Amino acid sequence: MPLPLNRALEAVLDGADPERLRRATTRLIDVYRSGAPPTEQVLSDRVSATAYAAYRMPATHAAVARVLRYALEVAPDLAPHSLVDVGGGTGAAAWAAADAFPGLASVEVVDGSADALAVGADVARHGPRALAGARWTRRDLGGGRALPRADLVTVAYVLGELGPDLRDRVVDAAADAASEAGAVVAVLEPGTPRGFAAALAARDRLLAAGWHVLAPCPHEAACPLAAAGDWCHLAVRLDRTALHRRLKGAALGHEDEKVAYVVARRTPADTPAGRVLRHPVTRKGLVQLELCRDDGTASREVVSRRQGPRYRAARHAGWGDQWPPEGTDPAD
């Protein structure tokens, strides 16, 4: 987690009752792990919203930051000036966007929980100018009202909490809000089969509307993993603060946030030849990569020491990275 967000959370959490936060965190974890869409507002009071900020903002921030980094690798010209964070809660995605795009000037976080928005606004006061001046708008996502126009629209960990019809309406509203030629929509869901299904449905809907995928897919064909009964996701490692460990009752100093996602733009970009689908397996003298390829297939590639630069690149490749890296000759 970046130091500014860490300090902002510490400033807002200073003086909060740690036992109340721990109990609220345990309840939230149980709700989200159930996998079922909530039947009522989850962040229904200040304590639950504060607990959510403490235990979920670091992971959400890490996931969105990584996803935006991958999008920038494919489309380095991305430079949004405005952001709408749909269902943004306490604003973790907005923090990640502000970090990724220094030119971001206008931020609006839209959510149905007044308590989450209030906590998010308190945290954002300790952030960069775009966040400190952000608008925090309470709105029922099912109300049918149009979203504000923006260059970048994020929908992070929202669709899984909605019914299928409402998911489609939210994706459509996000696409309508990102109306400019270079505008971008980023959808993120938990890296579970259910989360992947929601992200994949959003990808299909955006493609059908004429959008173009920036990441993770190096193609716009049907997902080969879904066809094989598998699911595409990414693991992002983040460090836990001492408070984070206490709230979650965790011993490890890190955790892996698994995320399924799609980033799409109205205009196409030069996508990579492939992307790494899992942690590479390194053995003596070789690296085994599971790849999604630009021809719409998924397959394994084994890179041996005899391949020189390609082997050295494979040893440094990570889950989610482009393959091969720029400057690596495919014939090596």
pLDDT tens digits for range 146-172: 899 999 999 999 998 888 889 999 999
Looking at residue 322, the DSSP 8-state letter turns out to be: B
Buried b (16+ CB within 10 A) or exposed e, 87-125: bbbbbbbbbbbbbbbeebebbbbbbbbebbbbbbbbbbe
Confidence of residue 325 (pLDDT cuts 50, 70, 90): confident
pLDDT higher than 80, residue 39: no
Q: What is the pTM of this model?
A: 0.92
Q: For residues 24 and 204, what is the distance between their CA atoms, to the nearest angstrom?
A: 36
Q: How high is the mean pLDDT of the chain? A: 91
Do 212 and 291 belong to one domain?
no
Beta bridge partners, 83, equal 107, 152
- Candidates 260, 161, 157, 262; CA nearest to 204 is 262
Residues 209 and 150 in one domain: yes
User: For 4-14, what is the mean pLDDT?
Assistant: 89
Would you state the structure tokens that stand for residue 132, as one six-digit string?
């400190």
| In a shared domain, residues 298 and 207 | no
Distance of CA 163 to the CA centre of its chain: 20
pLDDT at res. 300: 97
Provide the number of structural domains found in the chain: 2
pLDDT at 208 over 70: yes
Task: Dump pLDDT digits (tens) for 10-24.
Answer: 899 887 888 888 888
pLDDT tier, 42 (very low <50, low <70, confident <90, very high otherwise): confident
User: Residues 39-61: what's their mean pLDDT?
Assistant: 86
Per-residue confidence (pLDDT) for residue 296, from 0 to 100: 97
Report the pLDDT value the prediction gives residue 246, as an integer from 0 to 100: 73
Q: Which residues pair with 236 in a beta bridge?
A: 257
Q: CATH no. for residue 128? A: 3.40.50.150
The answer to whether residue 250 is domain-embedded is yes
CA 82 – CA 328 distance, rounded (Å): 35
Do 120 and 33 fall into the same domain? yes
Domain of residue 280 covers 274-316
> Are residues 311 and 188 both part of a single domain?
no
Give the pLDDT of residue 35.
63
The verdict on 294 and 195 lying in the same domain is no
Are 165 and 308 members of one domain? Answer: no
